[in-house]
Each structure stands twice: as C-alpha cells, then as structure tokens.
Chain A
Amino acid sequence: MSKRLLGLILVLPALATITLLFIVPLGASVVGAFEVEGRYGLGNFDKAFALYSQDILFTVVIVSLSTAIIGLVAIAIGGYLTLGENPHAVAVLRWLYRWPLFIPFIVVGQVLRTFLAKNGMMNNTLVSLGILTPLETTSFLDWRGIVIAFVWKQAPFVALLVSGAMASLDRGTIEAARNLGASRLRILIEIVVPQVATTLIVGLVLSFVTMMSVLSVPLMINAQSPTMITADIAFRLNAYRDYGVANALGLISLLITASIAWIYLRHNVRSRA
C-alpha cells in the first residue's frame, strides 16, 4: 500500500507538468474548437470540413502510407541485421542505416528540399546515369516528397527499436528452423516478426503520432494544396488569427491519433493478459 503511495508521489511531478502545460491548454483548444463568436456550436467544424476535407484525407493517406513503408523498411533492415549471413554486408548496413536517426525534422525538410528539387542531386544523378533527360526531370516536392521525408527520418528509428528486439531473441529457434531448411524470408515472417510485434507496433505508433504533429516538413516540402492538417492550422492562425477553425482541425487530428493510440492500448492489454 505504501509502495503504491510512494509510486504515485514519484510520478506526480512529471504528471503535473504534463497536465498543467499540455492537458490544460489542450482542453482550452478543445473547448475553443466549439466556440463560435462567444457561443458554442459546430460552426468551426462545418467550416473545417468545407475547406479542408481534402487535406484531412490527404493527411490520413500520407501518414498511413508512410507508416506502412516505415514498417516494411524497418523489418527488412532489422531482419537482415539479424539473419544476414555475410558479416561485411551486415556491418556496412549497421553503420549505414542509422545516419538519419537523430537529424531534426526541420533539417530533414531543408536537406530533402535541396535533394528532391528539379535541379537537386537526385535528378542530376538520374540524368548523368542516362535514365532521364534534363527535360524529363520533375520536382518531387509534393506528396511524394513528404512521404520520402517521413520514411527517411522515421524508418531508422523503428529499425533501431526492432533490430534491438530481434537481437535479444532466442537464437535457438532460428537456428533450428534454418537447419530444417526454412528460407530466411520465411524465418523472418513466421518466427522473428511475430516475436518483435510489440516493439514494432510501439515504434510505428510513435512514428505515426510524430508525423501527425510535424509542421516543418509539410511547410518546407509541400505548402501548396493539398497539404497536411498541421500546415492548415498554421495558415489559419497566421493569415486569419482564426483560433476556432484551427482548434477544430487540431481536434480532428487528435481523433485520428487517438484511434491509433487505442489500437496500441488494446494490443498492450491483450499481450499482458
């Protein structure tokens, strides 16, 4: 009993910080979402859906697509690090994949804005390899640019978590399956991935919510329509000081992320049961 009390006392300062500096302002913005000229109503949501329903859909598609690609890349990298049989290739991959890990989003935006532009290094390399002619080059600074930026930045993070979990797996089952003649792909899909599913999902949930809140990448890579909800919120505030619609858009993206967090919670409860 006293242990419980002690635990609560130890957690309390951190929880209080989150409550005062995040949940209270969050509550204010939720209330603000329903406030139309001093009265309560759904006017802000009508306006938000009328103006930005395309952007809301765009955000969900972009973030889901990025999450799916991040998951596949992370499994591929973690899988090769765990099951790869060429020690040199494993060492090179281990050294290589982590470079974007801690690069700030705003820097990722700047780095990829120069790389993916019409005269960026990507197009220049394709031209010099003879794959494209200079006239065929196009800028990738649209939805593709956002997906590339998200995957570039977040896949190493999930791969780091996943490969850590894979490294601490029991090698016995893997070796046994290998000796029975199972291919490495089959071992990866049927033995390794199910055992690291919790870590993988944690990484993907963290990435999903991170991508939902990033403002700098959509602003720097693709600020024209259709764009992401975060860019719309910034625009509503900067151009019109329109807190109502900005808060309504914020609440919509909260509901999207909440559904993802709910999936995580359910998975967590189930795996503990």
Chain B
Amino acid sequence: MTSLATTTPATGRRLPRIDLWWLPRGLVLGLLAFIIFGPLTNLVLWTVAERWYFPHALPLEYGFSYWQRVFSPRGNAMESLANSVFVATLTVIAALALAVPAGYALARLKLPLRSLILIAFLIPQAFPNLPVYVNIARLFYGLGLNGTIPGVVLVHVTHGLVYAVWIATAAFSAVDRELEEAARSIGASALRAFRDVTLPLAAPGLMASAIFVFLESLDEFTGSFFVGAPDVNLLPLLLYTAGAGGNYQIASITALLLLVPSIAFMLVVERFLKADVLSRVGH
C-alpha cells in the first residue's frame, strides 16, 4: 500500500491525493527565502536610502544622490572598479598558467606524496593571512613590488591557487582516460592528445576554476590592504573604509557592485561544474 502511494514522483503524480505536507514545506521554503533574500533586500534598500534611522522599518526618503557621489569623477569607485577587474583578470591568467599543468599531473601522472602536494595548495587558505601578508609586504618592499599591481596580483594568485589546482585536478580526473589513450594509439603525440582531447573535455571545469579565481581576487581584502593600499585602490578596500566610517550607503553601493558578478556566476555555475567533477574535488 505504501509502495503504491510513494513510488517515483512521476507515477505518484498520476494518483491525485491531498498532500498534507504542502504547509510545512511551504513554511520551510518561505523561511529559507527570507533568510537568503531578506539581507539582500536590506542591502538594496540601503543603497537608495537618503535618510533612515531607528525605529523606522523603511527609509524615510529614497533617492540616488549616493550613487551620484560614488560615480562622480571625484569619487574613487570607478578607479577601484577598474583596478579590481584588471587585477582579477591578470590573476586568472597567471593562476591558470600554473594550475593547468599542475592539475593534469596530479590527476593523471604518478606523483610521490600526492596527498601532501594537494594539501600544500591548501596552506594559503589554512593560515590566517594577516601575519603572512605583513611579511610579504616587507619582502615586496625590498623588491619594489609594494603598492604595485604586479605585487597585488602575485598575492591574489597565491591565494587563489587552491581553487585553481583542486578544481583543475578534479576536472582532469573526470575526463575518461580511455579517450586519451585512444588518441595516443592512433598516433597522436602526448601533447596533441592533451590539446585536442583532454583539454577541451576538461574545459568547463577549468572555466569554473577560472571564475572561482576571478571572484576570489575580487573578494580579497587582507592582502590587498597590506600590499596594495594606499597606492592600488580596490573595491573591497573602498567598501571597508566606507563601512568603518559609518557611511552605510556608500558601503552598500560598493557591496552591490561586488555582488553582481558573484550572483551571475552562481546562476550559471552548474553549466561549468558538473556533478562528476564536483564529486572528485579533493580526491
């Protein structure tokens, strides 16, 4: 009897019966929607609030004067935005140049201490970056890299390599080894088999790792502060100083600028990161 009522969704739908679960289900999903969209709505409200203080539930006056202030030639948001995108693009190029060979080797070739090497890339994520960045800043100061774009890019590459290498490794191990061997057996060189077979098949995963690195670079705050500021202005630094100064409107507008690319990626991520790649991350 129970097996009749609760087989697959497809057959279950053919038996019309009153589903008493719609109420708790709706409540839970509604609560989840509030938890996720409530804070985002609150942020958007702040970007157009001219005046808003306790105990008013909604802003007293709406307007775009803060937007004008952010995007005015005098404001430094445009410069920060351009810098952030430029740094992130360079970071992606450098990180992928390092991660593609490394990921291929970790996925395909026999490596001594493979687990340890994978863990090594985790180190930048495993240590509170602050004291490390302070020491990097000292080192870069001696090399003349402090306060330059290349210096910031190098810090971001180090920070993003864990995503780049781990996802690239997963992407390459999800590619069927036999396809590569088939190409080799009909006479393709190792390099040719890699370029024409393995690389295109791993491309969606590599694309995902590129976007991850791009977003990590946009997000990165601590390293930019110690190595970049005050010469290289980036969006997270602008957001932090505005927020610390109590200017919630400017901080919220900057936060919104950082949000848009993140949410755009979230909406398309499954096109790049298939389940077979995801299930191999960290193996």
Residues of A within 8 A of B (CB): 3-4, 6-8, 10-11, 13-15, 17-18, 21-26, 28-29, 32, 85-87, 89, 92-93, 96-107, 109-115, 118-122, 124-125, 127-128, 134, 152, 160-161, 164-165, 167-168, 178-179, 181, 198-199, 202, 206, 209-210, 212-213, 215-216, 219-220, 229-230, 233-234, 237, 243, 246-247, 249-250, 253-254, 257-258, 261, 265, 268-269
Complex alpha-carbon distance, A121 and B52, angstroms: 12
- Distance between Cα atoms of A160 and B138 in the complex (Å): 39
Of all chain A residues, which has the CB nearest B36? A99
CB of B202 within 8 A of chain A?
no
Per the bound structure, the CA–CA distance linking A104 and B112 in Å amounts to 35
Known: A127-B57, A253-B128. 10 other contacts (CB 8 A): A4-B109, A4-B112, A29-B131, A86-B19, A105-B219, A121-B45, A164-B278, A179-B3, A181-B2, A250-B131
- The number of residues on chain B lying at the interface, defined by a beta carbon within 8 Å of a beta carbon of chain A, is 96
Given contacts A99-B40, A102-B266, A106-B219, contact A230 B29 (CB under 8 A): no
Q: Which of B110, B134, B263 contacts A243 (CB 8 A)?
A: B134
**Cβ B102 vs Cβ A13 within 8 A:** yes
Closest to A257 in B: B126
Minimum CB–CB distance for B108 against chain A, Å = 8
* B240–A164 touching, CB < 8 Å: no
A-B pairs with lowest CB-CB distance, top 9: A164-B278, A104-B219, A7-B109, A202-B282, A25-B135, A115-B39, A10-B105, A10-B101, A250-B131
Could you tell me the distance between the alpha carbons of A219 and B157 in the complex, rounded to whole angstroms?
Answer: 24
The minimal Cβ–Cβ distance linking B169 to chain A, given in whole angstroms, is 10
Contact B131 A269 (CB under 8 A): no
Nearest-neighbour CB distance to chain A for B232, whole angstroms, equals: 16
Interface string of B204-246 (1 = CB under 8 A from A): 0000000000010011011000000000000010011001000
The residue on B at minimum CB distance from A5 is B109
Flag if A119 contacts B109 (CB, 8 Å): no
CB distance from A185 to the nearest CB of B (A): 14
Known: A96-B32, A106-B221, A161-B278. A215 touches B130 (CB 8 A): yes
* The stretch of B72-80, B176-184, B251-259 that contacts the partner chain: B251-259
Q: Are B42 and A121 in contact (CB under 8 A)?
A: yes
CB distance from A167 to the nearest CB of B (A): 5
B258→A101 contact, CB < 8 A: no
> Residue A98 contacts which of B29, B98, B105, B269 (CB distance < 8 angstroms)?
B269
Q: Which of B41, B115, B222, B255 contacts A121 (CB 8 A)?
A: B41
Residues from chain B with Cβ under 8 Å of A257 in the complex: 126-127
Q: Is the pair B125, A87 in contact by a Cβ cutoff of 8 Å?
A: no
Asked if B126 and A258 sit within 8 Å, CB to CB, the answer is: yes
Interface residue from B123, B255, B276, B281 paired with A111 (Cβ < 8 Å):
B255
Q: Which residue of A lies closest to B37 (CB)?
A: A99
Any A CB within 8 A of the CB of B154: yes
A-B contact pairs, 16 of them (CB 8 A): A8-B112, A10-B101, A11-B105, A17-B98, A18-B124, A102-B215, A104-B258, A114-B248, A121-B41, A199-B279, A219-B240, A257-B126, A257-B127, A258-B126, A261-B122, A265-B119
